Chain A
Amino acid sequence: MTDHDLDERLESPAQSQMREMLKSMPEDTVSMAWRSGLNERIASAVAVKQRRRRFAWVLSPALGLGLAGALAITMLTKAPTSPNLGQPAKPSIESNLVASFRDSMNYTNVTGVGLNPDEVARSRSISAVYDPDEVDFDSL
């Protein structure tokens, strides 16, 4: 495009109409009060942002540590109640019955005609065996 072509286009009726329209619009200047207010709001926003950054700098690790601690506590307190997590299975009543019988046989192999474990328990306070006169039957 040559300078001549450019001059022609600028002088076109459409351009002239646009020029007139813009000239007719009221001039809107930015007041000093608004500029000052804007500066204060910017400064204030920056300060808040800096405070937030400082808080975040302090709080982020604390929050992380707190979360890690809470997780650790949860794991420590929850782990033992987890089903069969390295814990031996609780003996069934059937195996307890057999073990009790087997033990009584084995103990009497040693005690012979002397005091057997039940008779020892009668004179001692052994929790496994109860004497009828010493038992609170309602609590059984």
Chain B
Amino acid sequence: MISKIAIRYGSAALIVGVVACGAVAQSSDKIPEIIQKVINASKKLNYSGSRTVLLKFGPDQHRHVEFVTKNGPRTRIEFPEEGIFRGQIIVETENERRHYFPNDNQIDVMPPRRDELVGRWLKMGDRGSESQFKIEDGSPIAGFATKVVQIVSPSGFVFLKLWIDPRTGLVLKREFYGRDGSVQASSEFTKVDYQPKFNRGDFVLNIPGAKVITPWDRLARLVGKTGFKNVALSPKDPFRLESSRIQRIGNSTALVQDYVNKDGRVSLIQVNSEIDPDKLRRGGRGEVNTFSWQKGGTYFVLLGNLSEAKLKEMAEKLGG
């Protein structure tokens, strides 16, 4: 998947092909062929496999294993018995994502993520970009030969690398880098079977007796407990509420709502600290668009990879 920075800068206007060492230069006005292959594969590919995910949260480092089964656009993910995610199951279809938490005997229902992620890839072809793609031969991952796609920011900073099986279009490994060049997050398949056996019901998640919680239920609970304002997009809006949470941002406490659709991702943030719209816009540095307003002593912020006009339109729906 392509990062927000890449999305912002759109298609690769300056693609540096290091032909001499096997790299392939891509045209400047469309998505690299191998990326298009990944997009197509995400709808069609069948496989099962296990992958290791590493996430860094400041000084904390977290690692877990996911068992993935994929049948075209449908995905099932389970977790090892010995880990903290024991018993959790994720099933994502074209229409929804269901996540079972055994400790709470609860299923969270939310919009699928694949649409938004594929949308990010497709957007790359729509906008002028100063980012570069470097594509070259990569080392084998899980026993399969790969091509490595490096996505380079205009300042020359490689922020994302993808190891892709060029035969199938499966992204076997991903790494996201911080400004200092260190890996901030990674995901790597250690085993892949392109001829998996599916069981009936693999892509249906219904647990008898489990509570079904929607993002709206969760938002209502948060608003009720915290005293934040009940301001949200309509459930009928094309942007669907994916999640909501209370988050500490700097010294302030914020209510964060994430909305997604195939056009992108938008966060609506409520905070009681004063927000300077100009500072916010400068902070976005053209990579993240912003819109903010104040009402009744509460500050509202929209952040997204959509145009500012689109964010403004969304703000009007929210009373901004």
Cβ–Cβ contact B249 & A114, under 8 A: no
Cβ–Cβ contact B99 & A94, under 8 A: no
Interface residues of B in 102-147 (CB under 8 A from A): 112-114, 117, 120
**Which residues from A are CB-within-8-Å of B84?**
123-124
**Which residues from A are CB-within-8-Å of B174?**
109-110, 112
Chain B, 244-281, contact with A by CB distance < 8 Å: what is the 0/1 string?
01111111111010100000010101010101100110
Stretch at the interface among A8-16, A33-41, A65-73, A130-138: A130-138
CB distance from B149 to the nearest CB of A (A): 12
Interface size, B (range): 35 or more
CB distance from B294 to the nearest CB of A (A): 13
Interface residues of A in 69-108 (CB under 8 A from B): 91-102, 104-108
The reply to whether the CB of A27 lies closer than 8 angstroms to some CB of chain B is: no
Cβ–Cβ contact A132 & B247, under 8 A: no
The reply to whether the CB of B232 lies closer than 8 angstroms to some CB of chain A is: no
The reply to whether the CB of A111 lies closer than 8 angstroms to some CB of chain B is: yes
**Which residues from B are CB-within-8-Å of A140?**
226, 246, 248, 253
Given contacts A94-B279, A126-B60, contact A112 B271 (CB under 8 A): no
What is the CA–CA distance of A98 and B302 in the complex, to the nearest angstrom? 10
Interface residues of B in 61-92 (CB under 8 A from A): 62, 64, 66, 68, 75, 77, 84-85, 88, 90, 92
Cβ–Cβ contact B68 & A114, under 8 A: yes
CB distance from A133 to the nearest CB of B (A): 9
- Please give me the residue from chain B that is nearest to A95 by CB atom: B283
Cβ–Cβ contact A104 & B283, under 8 A: no
Cβ–Cβ contact A120 & B64, under 8 A: yes
Contact of A100 among B55, B221, B249 (CB under 8 A): B249
Given contacts A94-B283, A110-B186, A114-B90, contact A104 B246 (CB under 8 A): no
- Residue with the highest number of chain B CB atoms closer than 10 Å, among A101, A121, A129: A101
Contact of A109 among B2, B85, B253, B273 (CB under 8 A): B2
**Which residues from A are CB-within-8-Å of B271?**
93, 97
What is the CA–CA distance of A137 and B253 in the complex, to the nearest angstrom? 10
What is the CA–CA distance of A92 and B225 in the complex, to the nearest angstrom? 27
Given contacts A93-B271, A113-B114, A114-B90, contact A101 B288 (CB under 8 A): yes
The reply to whether the CB of A128 lies closer than 8 angstroms to some CB of chain B is: yes
What is the CA–CA distance of A109 and B267 in the complex, to the nearest angstrom? 16
**Which residues from A are CB-within-8-Å of B66?**
114-115
The reply to whether the CB of A2 lies closer than 8 angstroms to some CB of chain B is: no
**Which residues from B are CB-within-8-Å of A94?**
275-276, 279-280, 282-283
**Which residues from B are CB-within-8-Å of A105?**
3-4, 265, 305
What is the CA–CA distance of A110 and B151 in the complex, to the nearest angstrom? 13
Contact of A95 among B3, B77, B175, B279 (CB under 8 A): B279
What is the CA–CA distance of A104 and B92 in the complex, to the nearest angstrom? 20
The reply to whether the CB of B1 lies closer than 8 angstroms to some CB of chain A is: yes
- Please give me the residue from chain A that is nearest to B299 by CB atom: A93
Contact of A114 among B53, B267, B301 (CB under 8 A): B53
What residues of chain B have their CB less than 8 Å away from a CB belonging to chain A? 1-5, 51, 53, 55, 57-58, 60, 62, 64, 66, 68, 75, 77, 84-85, 88, 90, 92, 97, 99, 101, 112-114, 117, 120, 159-160, 171, 174-176, 184-187, 218, 221-222, 225-226, 243, 245-254, 256, 258, 265, 267, 269, 271, 273, 275-276, 279-280, 282-285, 287-288, 290, 301, 303-305
Q: What are 17 A-B residue pairs whose CB atoms fall within 8 Å in the complex?
A: A94-B280, A97-B301, A98-B285, A98-B303, A100-B247, A106-B159, A106-B184, A107-B176, A108-B113, A109-B3, A111-B53, A112-B171, A118-B243, A128-B247, A130-B247, A132-B246, A137-B226
A-B complex: 9 closest residue pairs judged by Cβ atoms: A105-B4, A98-B283, A109-B1, A94-B279, A96-B250, A110-B185, A101-B303, A94-B280, A95-B283
